[in-house]
């Protein structure tokens, strides 16, 4: 394991600014808004902010304030933050981001989780945090072979935790991080104390009986699944079928990369009009900058390609392998998909903790860090 420090060359930053200054803008139909994609006026204003007021070096300093490392696992370079708690009884916990996320998602939760005493919380709920970048994402690059689906990433995490000397640990994640964390629980139940997720996919099996007498709330969640498939899943269908083709556009155009990601911060969050209603502009641009500077638009999309078969199986009613470790679920109402409890219990009979919140969306660590922190602490307090 080699210590790692983020240090983007000034030439790369200057190149980004030149590209942002010389954008070739498309036209836009009058009277349209977010329903057709990111509005032109909004993206022009955000692009100008990225070029003139966003401070990448401040993001570097924040991330470099945490111990970082890179190591080779199963032929892949794995970048990770490793932040140990001062509390001797802290629980080791691996936090996994998703797409279009990064390790920067967790900046605001690291302190309260590792050093709760300093943040006015009970020190009994402390964690040693391991926060890896999924292979092909961010500073875990480049990918050298195919096959990096959720199970293979989970196996890499098991190896990583063993190398760090952690015999028993928890796992937590949202989006792809949820799938990876659940796979880690299946793969290494003798080592995993429990799995906490802030996104859970629940698909009907096709048996009408399991959808009989759905509550109004659950019926709405089922309709949300249909709406996602018809209106919001274009990104997923493209990334899971032709990631290489997409890579050329997003790797060459920072504004293309910005639009591709910022749309998700509008559609998947608890935002009223613009993404900044839910997540600060600084955090959004920090996240997009990581994808841009590392050139990982294409390699991160490969994760969808590798997982496409598993997702099709789940959507067609193929049930996942059994989980024997306790599972905690935090449900945020404006997530992409909101799970239905009876379907969740069908797939995961070991659900031991279920929280439903009145606000928040897909990027829980960015949108509602306090709610997420408290829920993680509550769940792992019950399983340690």
Q: Of 169, 235, 291, 304, which is the active-site residue?
A: 304
Provide the token pair at 69.
């490392």
- Pairing of the two strands 91-96 and 68-73: unpaired
CA distance 227 to 222: 9
Helix (H, G, I), strand (E, B) or coil at 214: coil
Sign of the alpha-carbon torsion through 192, 138, 110, 163 = positive
Longest dimension (CA), the chain: 61
CA distance 256 to 64: 27
Neighbours of 383 (CB within 10 A): 18
Closest CA to 374 of 120, 168, 99, 185: 120
Provide the token pair at 317.
């009613």
Tell me if residue 303 is catalytic: no
Contact status, residue 275 vs residue 284, Cβ threshold 8 Å = yes
Neighbours of 156 (CB within 10 A): 23
Residue with tokens 């493209």: 238
Q: Of 115, 175, 270, 347, which is the active-site residue?
A: 175
Residue with tokens 């063993």: 162
Tell me if residue 304 is catalytic: yes
CA distance 303 to 315: 18
Helix (H, G, I), strand (E, B) or coil at 77: strand
CA distance 75 to 145: 8
Angle between helices 243-252 and 297-315 in degrees, nearest 10: 150
Q: Of 79, 235, 362, 375, which is the active-site residue?
A: 362
Tell me if residue 277 is catalytic: no
Query: Annotated catalytic sites, by residue?
Result: 175, 304, 362
């Amino acid at each position: 394991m080699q210590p790692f420090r983020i240090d983007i060359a000034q030439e790369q930053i200057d190149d980004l600014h030149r590209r942002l200054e010389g954008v070739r803008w498309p036209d836009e139909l009058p009277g349209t808004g977010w329903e057709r994609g990111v509005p032109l006026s909004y993206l022009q204003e955000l692009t100008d902010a990225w070029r003139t007021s966003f401070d990448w070096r401040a993001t570097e300093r924040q991330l470099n304030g945490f111990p970082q490392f890179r190591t080779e696992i199963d032929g892949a370079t794995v970048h990770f933050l490793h932040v140990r708690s001062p509390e001797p009884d802290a629980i080791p916990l691996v936090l996994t981001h998703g797409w279009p996320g990064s390790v920067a998602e967790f900046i605001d939760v690291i302190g309260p989780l590792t050093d709760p005493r300093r943040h006015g919380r009970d020190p009994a709920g402390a964690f040693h945090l391991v926060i890896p970048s999924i292979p092909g994402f961010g500073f875990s690059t480049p990918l050298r072979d195919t096959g990096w689906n959720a199970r293979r990433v989970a196996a890499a995490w098991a190896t990583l935790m063993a190398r760090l000397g952690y015999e028993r640990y928890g796992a937590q994640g949202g989006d792809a991080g949820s799938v990876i964390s659940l796979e880690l629980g299946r793969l290494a139940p003798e080592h995993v104390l429990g799995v906490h997720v802030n996104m859970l996919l629940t698909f009907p099996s096709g048996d009408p009986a399991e959808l009989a007498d759905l509550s109004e709330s659950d019926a709405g969640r089922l309709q949300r699944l249909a709406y996602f498939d018809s209106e919001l899943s274009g990104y997923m269908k493209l990334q899971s079928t032709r990631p290489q083709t997409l890579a050329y556009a997003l790797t060459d155009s920072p504004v293309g990369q910005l639009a591709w990601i910022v749309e998700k911060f509008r559609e998947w969050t608890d935002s009223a009009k613009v993404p900044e209603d839910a997540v600060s502009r600084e955090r959004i641009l920090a996240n997009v900058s990581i994808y841009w500077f590392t050139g990982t638009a294409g390699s991160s999309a490969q994760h969808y390609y590798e997982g496409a078969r598993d997702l099709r199986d789940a959507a067609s009613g193929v049930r996942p392998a059994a989980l024997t470790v306790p599972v905690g679920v935090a449900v945020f109402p404006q997530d992409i998909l909101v799970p239905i409890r009876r379907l969740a219990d069908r797939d995961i009979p070991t659900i031991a903790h279920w929280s439903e919140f009145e606000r928040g969306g897909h990027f829980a660590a960015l949108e509602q860090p306090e709610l997420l922190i408290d829920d993680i602490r509550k769940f792992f307090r019950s399983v340690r």
